[in-house]
Amino acid sequence: DAKTTQPNSMESNEEEPVHLPCNHSTISGTDYIHWYRQLPSQGPEYVIHGLTSNVNNRMASLAIAEDRKSSTLILHRATLRDAAVYYCILSGSGNTGKLIFGQGTTLQVKP
């Protein structure tokens, strides 16, 4: 199964942009890159996903490297409410139905 590698933790200052990296060097051509986040004491929530092109939505942007071996979740202006664990996962024909969440990146946002 294709795996992802994320830093264990990152810090950011409030109202500054945050770039959360994810490496997925064994990604296959049909794997989608998904990002979820988990706020304290809550279930994970969907953030964004993409296949090849960069994606934007109201929560964040997803920048995908040209070779697709890495991606970056971008929070344009971090707020205290963005403090959470962010998970980068791959979803494709190789793991249909078996979405594997790693330990993710714990983001701290300082006021």
Partner 1 sequence: NAGVTQTPKFQVLKTGQSMTLQCAQDMNHEYMSWYRQDPGMGLRLIHYSVGAGITDQGEVPNGYNVSRSTTEDFPLRLLSAAPSQTSVYFCASSYSIWAAEKLFFGSGTQLSVL
- Name the site residues for partner 1 (rule: CB under 8 A): 30-32, 34, 36, 42-46, 49, 51, 85, 87, 91-93, 96-104
Q: How far apart are CA 13 and CA 100, in angstroms?
A: 30
Tell me the C-alpha distance between 85 and 103, whole Å: 8
Name the residue nearer to partner 1 (CB basis): 43 or 111.
Answer: 43
Shortest Å distance, C-beta 91 to partner 1:
4
State the minimum distance, in angstroms, from the CB of residue 76 to partner 1: 21
Distance between first and last Cα of the chain:
39
CB of 58 to partner 1, least distance (A): 14
CA separation, residue 47 to residues 1, 50, 57, 85, 111 (Å): 22, 11, 9, 12, 23
- Residue 98 is encoded by which pair of tokens? 């078996």
